[in-house]
Amino acid sequence: MTDFNESANIEKKISGQADINSVPFTEVEQPGPASLAQQAKGFWVTFSTMFKKNQTVQYPDVKAPTAPRFHGRHQLNRHPDGLEKCIGCELCAWACPADAIFVEGGNNTPENQLSPGERHGAVYQINYLRCIFCGLCVEACPTRALTMTNEYELADDKREKLIFEKEDLLAPLRQGMLAPPHPMYPGMTDTNYYNGDVKEAHPSQSESGQGVN
């Protein structure tokens, strides 16, 4: 650690090396005032802009669409029957150059089946104060669980609020989906899920056995 005396010493050393009076001074030739024609050319740019289309967007009243592949907030996707795709493998966390992702795996049990197969993501957090939206995590994900949406409104007044939990990141339940935990589709293995053989939830997967209501 540098204490105050030491830093003073350092300053002395530096200023000793670069004495302001010993810096060589070279006079630079200044251009004289520009001609009227040259000035008119410059102002023409300003003037012509008045007749161009206005680029200002009245955000937040008006929201312009992003480019289709814009890197926005992440989303944790679901299989067509509602089971989570994330298996808690931590490969996204491993790939992340900003160390923005925290994952803890969990064991699927018959009572608590959140994803197909043995393993699910028990804790999943992305810290948007760290994320640089590079998308390397999406590339790393072996199950296509993690993708990015176009959502860019990621500002808040507390640091904690910018650490998104699994519930914040999970995709909404769509038509034909059942909220996990629930058993896997009857007769299907995790391989079938990955091959896309499961198209929607089966009635027997719901608690009532009645299917999606």
Partner 1 sequence: MTTTQDSAVAVEMITVVIDGFEVSVPKGTLIIRAAEKLGIQIPRFCDHPLLDPVGACRQCLVDVEINGRAFPKPQASCTIPVEPNMIVKTQLTSPVADKAQKGVMELLLGNHPLDCPVCDKGGECPLQNQAMSNGRADARLDGYKRTFEKPINISSSVLLDRERCVLCARCTRFSAQIASDPFITLNERGALQQVGIYENDPFKSYFSGNTVQICPVGALTGASYRFRARPFDLVSTPSACEHCASGCDMRTDVRRGKTLRRLAGDDPSVNEEWNCDKGRWAFKYVTALDRLTHPLVRNSSGELVQASWPEALAAAAAGLKGKRAAVLTGGRVTTEDAYGYSKFARIALATNDIDYRARVTSDEERDFLAAYVAGSSTTYRDIDTADHVALIAFEPEEESPIVFLRLNKNFKKRGLKVSAVATKGSIAMDKLKADFIKVAPGAEASAVAGLALTAKSVILVGERASESAGLFSAVAALAAKTGAKIAYIPRRAGERGALEAGALGTVLPGGRPVVDAAARVDIAAAWGVDSLPATPGRTSSQIIDALASGDLDAVVVGGVDAHDLPHSHAVLDALKKSFVVSLEIAPSSVTAVADVVLPVAAITEKSGSFLNWEGRARAFDSAVADSHNRSDVRILSMLADALGNPISLGTVTSSAREFNQLGSWDGARVQFAPVAAGTAKSVSGNDALLSSWRRLLDMGTLQKGEDNLAGTRRPTVAVISTKRAESIGVTTGQQVRVSNAHGSITIPVLVEDIHEDAVWIPRNSFASQALVALDAVHGDVVTVVKA
Q: Which two tokens stand for residue 142?
A: 């072996």
According to the binding rule CB under 6 A, does residue 126 interact with ligand SF4? yes
Torsion angle of C-alpha atoms 14, 20, 25, 27, degrees rounded to 10: 120
What count of Cα atoms within 13 Å lies in the side-chain half-sphere of residue 163?
10
Asked whether the beta carbons of 108 and 100 are under 8 A apart, the reply is no
CB of 90 to ligand SF4, least distance (A): 5
Q: What is the size of the binding site for ligand SF4 (CB under 6 A)?
A: 28
* Rounded-to-integer distance, Cα 120 and Cα 112, Å: 10
Asked whether the beta carbons of 79 and 120 are under 8 A apart, the reply is no
The residues binding partner 1 (CB under 8 A) are 87-91, 93-94, 104-107, 117-119, 122, 142-143
**Among residues 128, 129, 118, which one has the least CA distance to residue 148?**
128
Whether omega before 68 lies within 30 degrees of 0, making that bond cis, reads no
Over the window 2 to 31, marking each residue x when it contacts ligand SF4 by CB under 6 A and - when it does not, the resulting string is ------------------------------
Q: Tell me which of ligand SF4, partner 1, none is bound by residue 119, counting a contact when its beta carbon lies within the kind-specific cut-off of 5 to 8 angstroms.
A: partner 1
According to the binding rule CB under 6 A, does residue 132 interact with ligand SF4? yes
Asked whether the beta carbons of 120 and 87 are under 8 A apart, the reply is yes
Give, as ranges, the residues between 69 and 98 that touch ligand SF4 (CB under 6 A).
86-92, 95-98
**Among residues 72, 71, 67, 76, which one has the least CA distance to residue 103?**
76
Of 5-13, 38-46, 132-140, 185-193: span binding ligand SF4 (CB under 6 A): 132-140
According to the binding rule CB under 6 A, does residue 170 interact with ligand SF4? no
Q: Tell me which of partner 1, ligand SF4, none is bound by residue 104, counting a contact when its beta carbon lies within the kind-specific cut-off of 5 to 8 angstroms.
A: partner 1
Residues that bind ligand SF4 (CB under 6 A): 86-92, 95-98, 100-101, 103, 121, 126, 131-137, 140-141, 143, 145-146
